[in-house]
Amino acid sequence: MATRLLKSREALLVLAMVILATLIEMRFSGFLSAKSTVAIFNDTAILIILALGQAAVILARGIDLSIAANLALSGTVAALVNASFPGVPVEFLLVLSVLAGALLGAINGLLVWKLDIPPIVVTLGTMTVYRGMIFLLTDGAWINAHEMSDAFKAVPRAVIFGLPLLSWIALCVIAVMILVFSFTRIGRAFYAVGGNPNAAVYTGISVGRTHFFAYVVAGTLAGLAGYLWVARYAVAYVDIANGFELDVVAACVIGGISIAGGVGTAIGAVLGALFLGIIKNALPVIDISPFWQMAISGTVIIIAVAVNARAARPKGRVILKKAEHAI
């Protein structure tokens, strides 16, 4: 039992987070207080939502580099409508942002599916296009807090049973994505296509359609995160969440989502995001510049990919050597 836990990426991540948080608590009392723990989870909630969307794409052997740009464009659309028509219900704006994100994700999926363009090329291109669309919509201007209605800004800050609504939304997304990955046909298709697309075809699974749905899932969650980001920080402009896609990919890889596809869990993606959340909240406490965050995230990605590749390396070569000696 103990050996199995030590081989589990999720168990190792939990252990690493406990050790890291304990060390910081020993040096700076209060880091593990209930208030601080809730704040860390709430600060990481948007990253968790995006990581779960990215996980769907990576499991299906893809990548979405436009996910942060999708967030920015979807959130900006909701903010523009709110600024122009303050009386529009918040529920409508939330749905609008989610649908905008799903549409942008569907564009990625169609380009990968119908034109058979490599996912990294498609999403690198649409990342730039989506940022450009924000500039065209806003004419390069910022949408600031005073242009947004109080109701628009209040949603992620509302507190229910001592927990911000933003955190509750993240918890609901976690529950839904666990069910999708584990108990639905499309979830099984993500794993099948990512694990062996050629074999998946023989079981009746459409590889292209599976990629399409993966990008729609990622886009839908990016749209949700877009509204939450803009409403929480009360600002929308071209460069919001710029570079955040690196953190999203890092969260997935750290959580054990194989960049080659077909391996990983929703819980792993969540734990990977929380690991980054603890690090980012710890950096100011231990007096390390936030400008090191990107470097740390990149380094962690490289280490995690190396660990994943080593764990997935086939053992056939060793068997052949033994057979050769036997002859």
For residue 270, CA distances in Å to 30, 154, 254, 273 come to 24, 25, 10, 5
Average pLDDT estimate for 149-161? 94
Helices 207-233, 67-84: axis angle to 10 degrees equals 50
Distance CA 18, CA 32 (A): 10
Summary count for the chain: helices (H), strands (E): 15, 2
Average pLDDT estimate for 316-321? 46
Residue 72 binned pLDDT confidence (cut-offs 50, 70, 90): very high
For all residues of the chain together, what is the average pLDDT?
A: 88
Provide the percentage of residues in the chain whose pLDDT is more than 70. 89
Residue 308 binned pLDDT confidence (cut-offs 50, 70, 90): low
Distance CA 173, CA 252 (A): 15
For residue 139, CA distances in Å to 69, 80, 97, 132, 237 come to 17, 12, 20, 10, 10
Please give the residue that has the higher pLDDT: either 123 or 1: 123
Under a CB-based contact definition with an 8 Å cutoff, are residues 157 and 167 in contact?
no
Question: Coil, strand, or helix at residue 163?
Answer: strand
Helices 266-285, 293-312: axis angle to 10 degrees equals 150
In the predicted model, is pLDDT for residue 279 greater than 70?
A: yes
Distance CA 271, CA 277 (A): 9
In the predicted model, is pLDDT for residue 177 greater than 80?
A: yes
Nearest partner of 283 among 8, 28, 59, 63, judged by Cα? 28
